Amino acid sequence: MPSPAEPPYYVLVSHRQSPNEPPIPVPSALSHPTIEYHYADDSHHSLLPQFPGEHVIVLDYDPVSNTSATAKSLSTELAVTALRLTDPPGAGIAQEQPGRNGKMHIIETTSSNQERPVEEHTSPQEALSRFKQRNMVLRQALEYPEGPQLNGFAPGISSDST
Task: Map residue 94 onto helix, strand or coil.
Answer: helix
pLDDT greater at residue 37 or residue 161: 37
Does the residue 83 lie in any domain?
yes
Query: With the CA atoms of 50, 15, 79 and 70 taken in that order, what torsion angle do they form, in degrees rounded to the nearest 10?
Result: -90
pLDDT of residue 66: 78
The neighbour count for residue 109, using CB atoms within 10 Å, is 20
Categorize the per-residue pLDDT at 146 as very low, low, confident or very high, splitting at 50, 70 and 90: low
Q: What is the DSSP string of 41-70?
A: TS-GGGGS--STT---EEEE--SSSSSPPE
Q: Kindly report the pTM of this predicted structure.
A: 0.63
Into how many domains does the chain fold?
1
Does the residue 3 lie in any domain?
no
pLDDT greater at residue 120 or residue 78: 78
Domain extent at residue 46:
10-160
The neighbour count for residue 119, using CB atoms within 10 Å, is 9
Residue pair 8/101 in contact (Cβ under 8 Å)? The answer is: yes
The model's pLDDT over 79-116, given as tens digits with 9 standing for 90+, comes to 888 888 888 777 555 455 666 777 888 998 887 655 55
Does the residue 1 lie in any domain?
no
For the chain, the first-to-last Cα distance in angstroms comes to: 20
Mean pLDDT, residues 140-148 taken together: 67
pLDDT greater at residue 152 or residue 130: 130
Asked if the model's pLDDT at residue 75 lies above 80, the reply is yes
Does the residue 87 lie in any domain?
yes
Does the residue 38 lie in any domain?
yes
Asked if the model's pLDDT at residue 12 lies above 50, the reply is yes
Q: What is the CATH number of the domain that holds 137?
A: 2.60.270
Does the residue 50 lie in any domain?
yes
pLDDT of residue 54: 86
Asked if the model's pLDDT at residue 31 lies above 60, the reply is yes
pLDDT of residue 4: 52
Task: Map residue 145 onto helix, strand or coil.
Answer: coil
Does the residue 2 lie in any domain?
no
